[in-house]
Amino acid sequence: MSRLSRDFFARDTLAVARELLGQRLVRNLDGKQLSGRIVEVEAYIGEDDQASHASCGRTQRNAPMYGSPGHAYVYFIYGMHHCLNVVTEREGFPAAVLIRALEPLEGVEEMRARRGGRPDAQLTSGPARLCQALAVDRRFDDADLCAPDALLFLERDAAILDEAAGISPRIGVRGDEATLAAPWRFYIRGNGYLSR
């Protein structure tokens, strides 16, 4: 199973988001491997995207979005949750793909424990849920997901056919009409681990 390289992420964000469907997110936790298949993502593109954390320009918090593709942008939200993004496009242009849901593959028992024994359908079906299940927090902010020794990385798996891929506006975002309507959420139709 080959890892996704930096070249994969250094492209148009919508293309990266679409092609991340079906790929594996892998976490090495104390030697144990936890992984899941990506089933839902959202794209955040440039400072003109009102829903993006970069819409007000560069700050200390969103700096990783302006950095090198293939790095993580992990932010803390609502006083208790973490969310994981993968940075895309060229350095200097703020863009990223938010990983919104996974289908658990390896280390499911560990995920159940980390998620307080909740039903399996709720283990990784949300951006903050999957971070809790895979023990992803701000220690991974700006981490290089393409480094050979990365503890968090992406692996190539089967591509998702167009007829199996759904496209919709993003969830939970604020902004003007165009922002709310932008079809920048991608998901695997009918998958049991979607965030909603």
- 1, 174, 177, 190: residue in contact with DNA (rule CB under 7 A): 174
- 2, 78, 117, 148: residue in contact with DNA (rule CB under 7 A): 78
Nearest to 9 by CA among 170, 179, 156, 127: 156
Size of the site for DNA (CB under 7 A): 37
The four Cα atoms 107, 113, 117, 118 give a dihedral, to 10 degrees, of: -60
- 91, 109, 161, 172: residue in contact with DNA (rule CB under 7 A): 172
155 near 26, Cβ under 8 Å?
yes
Strand 24-29 and strand 165-168: the pairing is unpaired
Closest to DNA by CB, 161 or 196:
196
**Which range of residues in 7-15, 28-36, 166-174, 181-189 is near DNA by CB under 7 A?**
166-174
Which residues 6+ apart lie within 8 Å of 166 measured at CB?
186, 187, 188, 189
Q: Under the criterion CB under 7 A, does residue 17 sit at the interface with DNA?
A: no
Q: Under the criterion CB under 7 A, does residue 145 sit at the interface with DNA?
A: no
State which amino acid sits at residue 129.
R
The contact pattern for DNA, residues 97-126, with x = CB under 7 A and - = no contact, is -x----------------x--x---x---x
Strand 72-77 and strand 81-87: the pairing is antiparallel
Footprint of DNA (CB under 7 A): 42, 44, 51-54, 56-57, 59-62, 65, 73, 76-81, 83, 85, 96, 98, 115, 118, 122, 126-129, 170-174, 195
